[in-house]
Structure 1
Amino acid sequence: MNRPHLNTATATPRTFEVDSTLPGVSFRGAVVSEFTKLLALRTSWWLSIITIGLGGIIAGAVAVSYQYFMAENPYFTGEAMQLATQGQTGSYFAMILLGALGVIAITTEYSTGAIRSSLTAVPQRVLLLSAKALALAGWTAVVTAVLILISHVLTSLIAQPLAPADILDAEIAGMYVATWTTVLLTALLGFGLGVLLRSSAGGIVVLAVIMFVLQIVLSILYGVTDGAAWVETLLRVEYMNLVDNFINPEAGALSPAPPLEPWQAGIGLLMWAAVPLALGALRFTRRDA
């Protein structure tokens, strides 16, 4: 008796579909659920602990070096704002570490298949993606605030003229808020890359290229082309140049490109985060999970 032969090699795989008209979990419930996932993810804790610890170590090292320089140069008059800015150097490492967390926060669900369970609980994909982004932003906001506070305390206790109470100074507080904002936007940039690429390695590599490699390449091109206008334009909108101009305009002035106003740099950083988020959301809503 002949049995029907199934050609499994050419069989069309079943796609995962969820009725987006179903109510599912509320937005508040989705945010709580996504935040709980971050709490349960060991990578979240490791990256956050490393971020805070490394930031504290760097702040202490900067303060000790600053104090030593002051002792060796008694006629040098330091400024509290300058010391406070240097004490936050660890925030640059926080950007790449928490940016990587932003990538992992979404790509781990694809690698484990948990995204299907998430979509079953929250069928409306835009709502699910918004909940994930909000939970990540909340986590990043807390970790970055702790980093900034610890860095300020260590720097102010070790070196002068910065004092612990200077955290209430309008100029210094404004710089801290700008630093906090850049780390938060970088985490969302990483999240957008993760949604768009659906690959942890790919998202983290692209994030590293945006933050480090691109600046080096453009600086080389600027020298090779004798300061061509198009390279200068790219340098002005390059991610880390925008960060420097947004946090510390004096640091931004060191770039070969003309400096930007902080509000202009802030808009540029928003665009850097918004583009991959928008493209990722478009792919997330239109392509199968």
Structure 2
Amino acid sequence: MTALTSPRRTTFTRAAGGPTFARTLRSELIKLTTLRSTWWSLGIGAALSVAIAFLYVSAVDGAYPVLGVLVSAQFTMLVAGVLGAIAITGEYATGMIRSTLTANPRRIPVALAKSLAVALLVGGATVVTSLVCLAVTIPVSTVPIVWSEPTQALIPLLLGVAAMIAYALIGTGFGLLVRNGAGAIAATVGVLFVAPVAVSLFQFGGESWQWMVDLGRYLPVAAGRDLTAIPTGDVLVPALTLVAWVVTLIGTGLILLERRDA
């Protein structure tokens, strides 16, 4: 009797209790939004964005409010990248990753759900922060926003949100690769901040180092700056550059996640 009922019970449990991607995503969103580090990161990023946008528009005569929002993103991108990194490495530091993978042994959907949760949270926070920045900078600017021309306002702002999401996912990719908080943050800061500064030094090296300057255009920060240029020009190359960074890092991280022990 036991031999006949046991397989049915096992089959029913797997069919009814198997976590779907939607349930996994909801779980990852709950975990991410209940961490104090998440809200500290988002709060610091928002405060820096509003302060930098306000100072820029107030200090520069005839500054465009939308440009002030986009300029502030060049400083707060590190916050997004660090948030993406600790969203992954935090579970490795506490050992919670073992519980997560025990509840859902399908590792790739779990990692994709974590990445999507980071993208949704950072994207939503960037939209809200951008609106606050505009509310603060419009009263002190003498230049009105031309909403009737999408390339002057709406499109650059939306592309700015996309770029911030890409920065966060780059940090997530390094988190999957390194699985150590300090190492992932160091790699993220190196790519988003140190590498552009180092490449800029080659501008003084003459034509013999021009190839290095040209190569620097394919760094994430340079691609994000070109992507949000006003008026928006050729967005294909910078967009593909950011996508390539995200896909390469997260894709490699997924492969290693499948092959390495938790």
Give the deviation of 1:275 after TM superposition: 1.0
Distance 1:54 1:40, change over 3 A: same
Q: CA deviation at 1:223?
A: 2.6
Aligned to 1:94: 76
User: Does the alignment pair 1:187 with 2:168?
Assistant: yes
- Residues 131-158 of structure 1 deviation map (CA, whole Å, 9 limit, x = unaligned): 1111111111111101111111111122
Match of 1:109 among 84, 91, 113: 91
Measured after TM superposition, the shift of residue 203 of structure 1 is: 1.0
Paired position in structure 2 for 1:233: 214
TM-score normalized by structure 1? 0.79
| Structure 2: stretches of 5+ with no match in the other structure | 1-13
Q: Distance in 2 between matches of 1:102 and 1:151?
A: 23
User: What CA distance in whole angstroms lies between the structure 2 residues aligned with 1:242 and 1:209?
Assistant: 16
Q: Does the C-alpha gap of structure 1 residues 33 and 63 become closer, same or farther in structure 2, counting only changes over 3 Å?
A: same
2:37 matched to 1:43?
yes
> Does residue 1:147 correspond to 2:129, yes or no?
yes
Match of 1:54 among 32, 41, 48: 48
Other structure's SS at 1:160 match: coil
Structure 1 residues 250 and 182, CA gap change in structure 2 (3 angstroms): same
Q: Is the 8 A contact 2:86 2:181 kept in 1?
A: yes
Identify the match of residue 240 of structure 2 among 262, 267, 284.
Answer: 267
Per-residue deviation, residues 192-225 of structure 1 (Å, max 9, x unmatched):
0001000111111111111121122222234325
More helix by percentage: 2
Partners of 1:169 and 1:38 in 2: CA distance: 37
Q: Distance in 2 between matches of 1:245 and 1:237?
A: 10
Match of 1:217 in 2: 198
Q: Distance in 1 between matches of 2:204 and 2:75?
A: 27
Question: 1:170 maps to which residue?
Answer: 150
* Aligned 8 A contact 2:65 2:134 in 1: no
Q: Which has the larger radius of gyration?
A: 1
Q: Between Structure 1 and Structure 2, how many residues are aligned? A: 246
For structure 1, list consecutive stretches of 5 or more residues without a partner in the other structure.
Answer: 1-21, 70-77, 252-259
Percent identity between matched residues is: 28
Deviation at 1:227, TM superposition (A): 4.2
Is contact 2:88–2:176 with CA below 8 Å preserved after alignment? Answer: yes
Residue 133 of structure 1: aligned partner: 115
Residue 249 of structure 1 and its aligned partner are, at CA, apart by 6.1
